[in-house]
Structure 1
């Protein structure tokens, strides 16, 4: 052994094995004391929901420590540590947990701290930083993990995640707020903040430039679980909002009923608060709701001397002005506004240019004058005056940066006279200018022939190119694409593959140039003008929900009106439900989720949109299924496109007979309860797997399934006998009972006895329990007269015959009303 120790080779090996370089080793979701993250190193939450590490937004060269989704294919950051102190090179910086329990970002070159949790002053020292599956980064003592020393949820940036709080400390008046990013590549705090009212009310406020309140949610209604001015933000089947208030604090928090859903609440750079859900199918964020609803309703969104075009929903500069920070505008930040292209000379050397607006800008000053000429002179004589308006004997002057100018075609709030440099105004020509103009005209005339020839050649080239470029339009998030008819004709191979048709038109399969599959509907029977059609389509395009088919774009060329939707690979519900010989049968779990999803989509249309939308044609053909069998209600909003005279439309609808509510057929004005009736009829078909009017053999009677089902429920017979026999009785009995009762309540004759779609959702979710329904009066007629009466034929004679056979013995049944109780009370 002594000889070995004297051997130089042995000593060299011993020294090599004894040397242990410092290597950062940490658990997948944890940074322990002394550990660091640098360069491309990251930690990931336990169930792979979130990632923490350095990131660089967009094309920026700056880097930040942030948290983003692991399962979302588009990197979406939800929290940023050093949002206003970026680092240039993450390899020379590190995120480390110091011995004093402070989590810091350090520049390794000069050892200077860039950001810190400032948690070292806490009585307890953190020994680990853990990234949770809720997106919360927590500092804690490893020996006592239940005690939180610091957490990122207490310092949100622009995103409010489920489980987090937006809080007001009533003792210190400090608020937790969401601050928008400055632009797409800069997470530094922008112009818009969302915070709880510091005066202690339950209102949320959007604050512009940290000084002016520009929006409020209204007070929280605890009973309705919603804000008075934001009904779409109410607790629903996805979100459950809660408001807590005590002597120390008040705050809101929310959770998801289904934790598999990925959702986020954002103070967007657009100045709007938005709720998004992620679609794994389309691999995009779907907008659930936003406030303010329109970009042009956001205060100061276009900055000083900018105007918001309400037709295009884009910011523009006023005439004579140019973008102050063009680079920011390309990153969707136009709040810097515009500056004059030519400076004013002051006095009568400047002039005024009239412009029509749909509103007058904010922050005007009134001046007492006797005429418009005096108003003009008042602005002309004030060097700081930028514009004037004279309306109803009221003179308004604008001496500061003009904010919130809105413009819209064919809408005006009076002429606004903008002061511009003389060179920016087209004034009458002086005599010598007229001579110069005449000379120019002569020159132009001399070369007109040459120019005309060149233009003609250019036009021919462009026409050829346009024919070759068919199908190259690309959709932009948040907007609708205006397709050319020739594009859609090419995308659908001249409308060769028909998917189906109905009262509103036929649907064809197609593909865009990037191979994205689409469904194109050729609308029929429209009598609207171009502008009205575009307005209605724009409204439909803003409605987005996980259970509604997304509208991608439209085409409007003369009488050619088409709508472009996402293509649903599994087709319509009827194609998946009614094929008795199909080897693939929808199981009960899938059917129940389809029924629930449809109800959620209709509830959104009826109760969550700014204007209630009645679908008017609910049937299996208008329910589409994506690749994961998630139901999507199609053709919503189209009834308004053809006007309120539905009789003409209904005569061309196929498969509608049997879904129409009695009040509609009798000519009474319809309400959302007409959709409830149709939904109930369709729900019976989902349960049975057959059309309600099932045709037997030649020697068998026609059996109307809702009649049979209602009778069996009323007599207390085995509910499983109502189930599609292909399922062999494999169904959750509670769900099946719930579905059958809901279906029967939905088809009650009196619409007042039918539940709302919101109640239907709650019943199917198990939040509400419902008592056994009575047999609808019209079904009683069928029970007694099945040999003679067919349910709700479109024939007026059939309808009158059905009503004439109604017996007084069933009147007490018809007076029954739905009884709901909370199953969670």
Structure 2
């Protein structure tokens, strides 16, 4: 009988949500728990009142019946209903008879902060016990991952905690274990959890700042590689929190109030907010700041003045006085930071020098050492050692030096920075900023000459060591060949990549039972490490070409790291087994999103395009060797949970020494993405630029480069359509029919000119990828005198003899290797 009542209630509640009137007042009482599955809710927000365009419009799912300030679980949308979030809000609730009024409040937890959904998005508690959020087009956005855990319902507690429970009322999942940027009174933050601030006041996506519990302290940091910490605390007592060394707990103050929360702001501040005089705010909620827990001076926040800018007392922001190297990002807004006039290039490291800023401090100095977060910390070094360490490491953008506070003031501690945020015009430290000089400019930090005897002695010692090492390596290689292991990978990247045994990978992948995809050289499987981290395991099949691909990928990807390159975690070279282990990319490859109906929004496509460009610019210009990928295509662009794009599959890539500009190789790549100069000219990194242009056009048009489903043969090749529409001045016809893309079709059409620039038949007229990045950032304009016949290749001169070129008849998946 009880079961029948629950089913009837679920059906009635669903009908109400579908057919409720579009008024701000809701004429149905809501409950604070849902029991029984399956249950479905549809995002049908009510029309907000007219007194404030900032009001949020709700589709309530769980809500207490008591009048006053309440927690509400459901969909909240902006005024225009263009962005909606599933989450928990603090709202003002009032009821008159059968009518319920909900006034806009504060969103304190969100399930989909990085992926807003549209009207008609659905939330479903399925028979399998999984609570799933899907967008209006059916795209999976978020779930509790509670499949098979006997979930029988969920509840919103009076503390604002969403709890999924099983048939024995045991908690299976709760929102308190997955915080966003807020802590509510009574909520705990433990090791392994973190708060992550929003990008800005108007953008709730994950931003730069985070708070976590680490090594007996709770600490705040700004995202970089490695993280840069700007505040730590092990204080146990506060009005607003308690900390026992392992758990940070938010406390209500006064103890009887729930009208309070702690929020990590987009500027890095950790503030406490309380409701201001509830009785006088029945037409809206007014939250006031009652405390800033960090109590730091303004200049100690990493982005108070933006990157490379110096913060002085009073919060004034200025660029370093060396105007030949830095300029304000915005003359009107000096707090936006500074930018380098000439970006640092690893291919021109001989022209790197250091600009010295005396009596300058840096916010993270000391914190990173205490928390063991950085491998770029040097102790007891001379100031010259600190300078040389930065100049010899291309990843280093600056060095911070502090003299020791003991009798030996000639030595001190040094912190090398991969990213430079705000500097402080205080203290006894010295900051050395790396800059790029022109070839004719004097070097600010010249190398010191060494005595002749020292040079001779070091040379002899070096020769002896080299001969000894070569002899040992030769003997080791010989022994491994006899044992049947044809690859000696030990000296490639010691200590960076993890070497797995084949049996370990069988356990990790559950005997290779969860296949993610298949390519020409093998298959890719999902695996899970012992710490719960998901990985992707590429199992290569064969010997000949696979051997070369395997070695190339380990050497190439293992020695570099960039946020827009898929990270290689380890490898396996055991007998005939060759496997590569990568980070897991939950949203798969880009190709599955390009042709999807109602696919990625224009904003996300811009992010993906920028990510690909930055990854290629890094490969071409910022590595010790120039790396040409040679197989850029949507299948080799992977997307993480936040739709950040990362370049993968380096099995066909080529490395070029700094003093060389071309490579001689067999034709390689995928038909449709191969630059025309493969047949008649030299090969440079511009072949990647051409392939990027194809991918860019596919993203903008929402179709494949080669689409054999087209009824008109002239429309099969995207470049043919592009040329024709450009001549007819009808490029807007090519914009993806996605509703959001059509709203931005002018901007999309404008970006097509960048694609045309990258697709020029004469490779010398194509931009470099660093120039593409600047064009995407609006720092340079796109070339206007463009040739839309993209196969026009300059004639080869007598000195340019055609090289070996073998066009393969294999399928694209075979040419490019496994995914």
Q: What TM-score, normalized to structure 2?
A: 0.44
Q: What TM-score, normalized to structure 1?
A: 0.44
- Structure with higher Rg: it is 1
Between 1 and 2, higher relative CO (CA 8 Å, sep ≥ 6) is seen in 2
